[in-house]
Structure 1
């Protein structure tokens, strides 16, 4: 155990000052003969000056005893984590989790932890993932406990494990992914002994459910410095266990058939996309699309007779691979659909600067992108990583021109709601047909005509529909 210096004492005092609920809760547990300690990320974030509204506590009280102590005091209670020893409550706008001292581990076979309760704070802290998360403040006495040098590691910005990395990752292999995530979130370095164990034990990640991996990876992608975490995943082989397409971007480059480094290019695109997010919260869909936009290149790489390298239709292959991977990682269908859509569309812009696009092409670009248009703008701009300033400026100017053109056409037409100039009822009345396939075919024909030529007046739309119907043999 170690004592805090004055600055650290002040940090803890500030934590308790802004969260008076902590002392009040500590007194309730103490009066009942139980311990209560603020732990983990709450202590770490307080020392870093990043304390939020979520507080984590541990206690020797069992879940049923915790429920008794908070009943009538908490503003709300939830028991979704009760089987793992955790009771959640809300008090004065704070979200609080209280967990019984734990001694959980994996049995080396199943994908879920074997939960058993611990008997002391020291045992509980020794089972935590990293030293910077293995500190505690006891309540209501405010005693600080740091048995594994978390304060020193926090100051040094290094990620280490309380026990040996092998023992820690053996308890929960997901911690290897968490090491990469904390490196990305906190912009800390990972101790070499931890990195070595991650390489040696990467295959153990296969014992973790896809959902847990997905959630941890999503946090990594949405962190302050995802590139640090992504590089760590690739360098340790962890990416090969759940996202092999990322490592696969490291294509071999020979002196006779050179092309840009696809892996490094991809990481730059992710960085560029982050810069275009603005002040909003991290955009997982945009970042994931940036990460996956070129995963179709390895499968489509070809070298021509002139030694030029091509990746024809890599956006199509990439969209298919992205869909397969995100499905395997159990991402929601709507999130997967958005990412896949961006990957499929990320090359559509090229060719615009050569003057090949008609208004019809612009309408189709906007219609195909739909609600993804704003993200597609950002992804397309992010994909320009050339060091040739003249080329980069020309591409940026071309895209500026396209956005201006979209704005002009949108001012004349509602591109977000492109629909045929005749609805289903008008089609049936004009053609004298009942509801059925012919109506759908006619509707799609009129929509294509609308995209090609812009809005038609009513009489023109009817003339075109009748002409089409005769050609198709639907009317004489």
Structure 2
């Protein structure tokens, strides 16, 4: 970019790195993209200079901005935005948050920070630059959550109040604006539930994702009776970062409020909720503009998420499950159900029953014997008695069964040294 910068400066312009690039550098993060602000040079001249070095594309935003790709490069490397204000500070005042309203003069190295974004970076706060930040660009109502999740920042109280008072503006957003932000929220952060809870607290969720907001009710006597809370914990708990798995975990119980039945002497029931949930999820994803194939996969996972995972399933029952779900989807279904089990307060079932069934299916697909047992462990009762100095009896069997459950969940543990170390920990518990 040095040649481009030199040519811009020779034409009388000044180049500033700004926005996310400055923020990410301060956070020691690899910038997702590099934004440059160009002052004292009109848009036509800037486009001409960029065009002499590569391919230029107008980003199509209200503000003129050019995405640049160097000759021979496969992807766009940067965005150049002509300054519009009488000063750089005025242009930075059009940013969304203070942490994005900083710039660095590439010629002098001077940092320009008119809204004290550095302090908010240090405190890990998302703070709006102006009171009209969401009125100026309603997509920021959506973007706030994904930025907060991705950076692990909190939304300050004043900004949350602004979101609440501006939430109705989310109705004006188009699917092609909303969907990319939801994808980022679900796939780029460790705890996406945090972003959905920001929308929940500010009223955005009910406008943007009403079927999900309708699940903000408590039903029955579960560990997490609130259906929305349960789905958000399932979302965070799934071990997969695949979009279809995370969407399915987020939406898997949409059908529960509509199928809830309470019985006097029995546990509450939700008969038919997977089918209704798949239908509701399909409608929601269509409205959000999700790709059809993705929506189809998500519905398939939701429809099948209540499969029987008993230890004593017959071989034919396991094969029917595999045939119904498909070899390409079965792993994703287990990842989704794992999150569901954790959210239901059943981690041992997630590691035990699910792990056992998953191993059976993996062996079946590999053409191996499909019923793992304690005999497959790299240690036996004699090994445990010698290592732990214990007598034959029920305690040996208990430790072996516990080791077996751990190995079902994590097959890499099935090494003698690792198992004996685990056995010592189990023996002390």
Q: TM-score, structure 1 length as denominator?
A: 0.71
Which residue is equivalent to 2:339?
382
Which of the residues 397, 414, 426 maps onto 2:352? 397
Q: Does 1:186 align with 2:151?
A: yes
- 1:264 shift after superposition: 2.3
Q: CA RMSD in A?
A: 2.4
Quick one: structure 1 residues 227 and 212, their matched pair in 2 at CA, closer, same or farther if it must change by over 3 Å? same
Instruction: Please give the alpha-carbon distance, in whole angstroms, between the structure 2 residues aligned to 1:328 and 1:411.
Output: 40
Ranges of 4+ aligned residues in structure 1 off by more than 6 Å: none
Superposed, 1:65-104 pairs within 5 Å as 65-74=45-54, 76-81=55-60, 84-91=63-70, 95-101=77-83
Deviation at 1:386, TM superposition (A): 6.6
1:78 Cα deviation after fit:
3.1
Partner of 1:3: none
Mapped partners of 2:301, 2:81: distance in 1: 41
Q: Any idea what the Cα deviations from partners look like across 1:408-442, whole Å, max 9, x if unmatched?
A: 432449xxxxxxxxxxxxxxxxxxxxxxxxxxxxx
Aligned match of 2:87 in 98, 116, 120? 120
Q: C-alpha separation between the residues in 1 aligned to 2:97 and 2:46?
A: 26
Deviation at 1:182, TM superposition (A): 1.7
- Partner residue, 2:194: 228
Shift of 1:82: 7.5
2:332 matches 1:367: no
Alpha-carbon shift at residue 118 of structure 1 (Å) = 4.1
The correspondence for 2:249, drawn from 278, 287, 290, is 290
Please say which structure displays the higher CA radius of gyration.
1
Say which of 4, 20, 33 aligns to 1:41: 20
Any conservation in 1 of the 2:231–2:343 contact (CA below 8 Å)? no
2:272 corresponding residue in structure 1: 313
Assess if the C-alpha contact under 8 Å between 2:20 and 2:33 holds in 1.
Answer: no
1:343 paired with 2:322, answer: no
TM-aligned CA deviation for residue 241 of structure 1? 0.8
Report the equivalent of 2:37.
58
Within the candidate set 208, 213, 224, 1:242 is matched to 208
Residue pair 1:303, 1:310 contacting (<8 A) in 2 also: yes
In the superposition, relative to structure 1, how do residues 185 and 162 fare at CA in structure 2: closer, same or farther (>3 Å)?
same
1:187/1:411 CA distance change after superposition, 3 Å: closer
Aligned-pair distance for 1:35?
2.4
Alignment partner, residue 216 of structure 1: 181
Query: 1:187/1:392 Cα in 2 relative to 1: closer, same or farther (>3 Å)?
Result: closer
- Give SS of 1:36's match: strand
Identify if the C-alpha distance between structure 1 residues 90 and 360 changes in structure 2 by more than 3 Å, giving closer, same or farther: same
1:262 aligned partner: 227
| Residue 53 (structure 1) shift | 6.2
Q: 1:119 to 1:285 in 2, by over 3 A?
A: farther
Using the TM superposition, give the Cα deviation of residue 67 of structure 1 relative to its aligned residue in structure 2, in angstroms. 2.0
Structure 2 spans left out of the alignment, 5+ residues:
369-429
- Per-residue deviation, residues 307-366 of structure 1 (Å, max 9, x unmatched): 63111111101000000000000011111111111111111234x33x3x4433322322
Question: Are 2:42 and 2:82, in contact at CA under 8 Å, matched by a contact in 1?
Answer: yes
Name the structure 1 match of 2:426. none
Give the distance between the partners of 1:200 and 1:81, measured in 2 at CA.
28
TM-aligned CA distance change 1:82 to 1:211, over 3 Å: closer
**Which consecutive residues of structure 1, in runs of 5 or more, have no partner in the other structure?**
1-20, 102-116, 414-476
Query: How far apart are the structure 2 equivalents of 1:386 and 1:155?
Result: 33
Matching residue of 1:461 = none
Q: In the alignment, is the contact (CA less than 8 A) between 2:58 and 2:64 conserved in 1? A: no
1:133 is aligned to 100
